[in-house]
A = this chain, B = another copy of it.
Amino acid sequence: MTDHISTAQQEFLALIGAASEAEGKSRISGQIIALLVFEGRALSFGELAVALGVSRGSISTNTRTLEARGVLARVQRSGERQDYFELVDVHSATLLREISQRLDRTGTGIEDICARLSHSGGDSGHGACARLRDYAAFHHIVAKAIATASDEIEGKTAHLRPGDSVE
């Protein structure tokens, strides 16, 4: 029976690891999140390294960045010398907010280019500028949509125990 669980766990880790890579993040960082979701409890530094079969150095760097991104928290247990990690309860919403902010940043970056262009170039680049503004607007619209979804999910996950229906 633990067999079934562990194969399911392996499949889950592989799936999320691949998804993590597909969106530009490292495989391990995705799998750390996946393992914490699967286990539903705080895991120690050593447990992560063993369960994922990766070096302690990788655990260190990846947990640090995940911590800085506000996805997981490092917790100390009295009497234990190892660090433990647990998911922030709004970790999914945090990831969405991150994406939303990056889109907004790209959008304003486009607008900045457009502003400099129309300021110094007269109206020769007018058509291009209009298209760039549309393209920037697209980024902002998507950012807004994702931010809204983030709020929705945050409202559902905050202070809710896992297993509650989200439908």
Contacts and interface: CB of A to CB of B under 8 A. Distances in A.
Interface residues of A, number: 57
A158 interface: no
In the assembly, how many copies of this chain are there?
Answer: 2
A68 interface: no
Contacts of A66: none
What DSSP secondary structure best describes chain A's contact surface? helix
A75 B123 CA distance: 29
Contacts of A50: none
28 contacts: A1-B121, A1-B122, A2-B124, A4-B116, A5-B117, A5-B124, A5-B125, A8-B113, A8-B116, A8-B117, A8-B121, A12-B113, A12-B132, A15-B110, A23-B23, A38-B131, A40-B127, A40-B128, A92-B135, A130-B163, A131-B162, A131-B163, A134-B163, A141-B153, A145-B145, A145-B148, A145-B149, A146-B146
